[in-house]
Amino acid sequence: MVSASDRATNSGNDSGKGPKAAVGKGSEPNPARTSVWLDRRTSSRTRRTESPAGLDRNRITEASVRLLDAEGLAKFSMRRLAAELDVTAMSLYWYVDTKDDLLELALDSVYAEIAPPREDADWRDRLRELARSYRELLVRHIWISPLAGTFLNIGPNSVLFSSAVMDVIRATGLPLERQTGALAAVFQFVYGFGTVEGHFKARCDATGLTQDAYHRHAMGTIRAQPHLRAIVESSDDLMAARGGDTVEEMRERDFVFALDLLIAGIEAKCDRITGSATTAAHRGKQPQPPR
């Protein structure tokens, strides 16, 4: 997830790694062309009757997601997508201007898979539900992690997710100046955790091994190296205490505990603020923000 401040920062991305503003007349880029969701221009392609029958943006977006899931971000191209849809590459330009448009549409479409949290639940449970859903999304679609901070993320599904997250953060009782920090602590942790988990799973799938078999093979290879064996053996007690019979169980225990730590931190900060306010009220002073 990308916050509003992150979106503002990313809107000026011209590093060559992210989307670029469309080039209009002359050689100057169009600064308004920062997102497919902000594109309100009337298409110059007026001969819509010549567009392929049955082709529309939704079908193109769905095919893009299937291809990205199956082949990854590096292999994705307009030509490959056109072949998947059995149309010419030029046919796609009736509906989008660039490959970045397709990636942005695909990115937002998968955010629809995140179910809204229960409205009647405590903020802690709602935060856990959103964090888990976001983690699962990152594992299910590993291509979204490099795109999440590249685009503005202002599509309808992304905005709904961001709004749900902000509602939960507001419900914590943290003062306004602390809320974005809490959001970053939780969801940047989930982003990193889910990204690593997704890539590990993809690596295992590519080798044809289960995650447990791959882990055993990797650890056996490391232990066979004298200069690495001591490092692994020094953490044997830590791994034994970690618990869990499978890689997925061990990972789940780590995720739940780490998220509980973050929630406990938010609770502790709120308690400290409440205590400071109570003390200040007794003294007739304004409470000072905690540092």
Does residue 3 carry a pLDDT above 50? no
CA atoms within 13 A on the CB side of 291: 1
Contact 135, 255 (CB under 8 A): yes
Predicted TM-score of the model (pTM):
0.80
End-to-end CA distance of the chain: 26
Does residue 52 carry a pLDDT above 80? no
Beta-bridge partner residues of 23: 29
pLDDT computed for residue 289 by the predictor: 60
Q: What is the longest distance spanned by two Cα atoms in the chain?
A: 77
pLDDT computed for residue 40 by the predictor: 61
Identify residue 115 by its one-letter amino acid code: A
Q: Which residue has the higher pLDDT, 281 or 86?
A: 86
Q: Which residue has the tokens 């935060």?
A: 127
Does residue 67 carry a pLDDT above 60? yes
Q: pLDDT of 106-131, one tens digit each?
A: 999 999 999 999 989 999 999 999 99
Contact 21, 100 (CB under 8 A): no
**Which own/partner pairs from 81-87 qualify as long-range (CB within 8 Å, at least 24 positions apart)?**
85/52, 85/55, 85/59, 85/60, 87/52, 87/55
Mean pLDDT of the chain: 83
Share of the chain above pLDDT 70, in %: 78
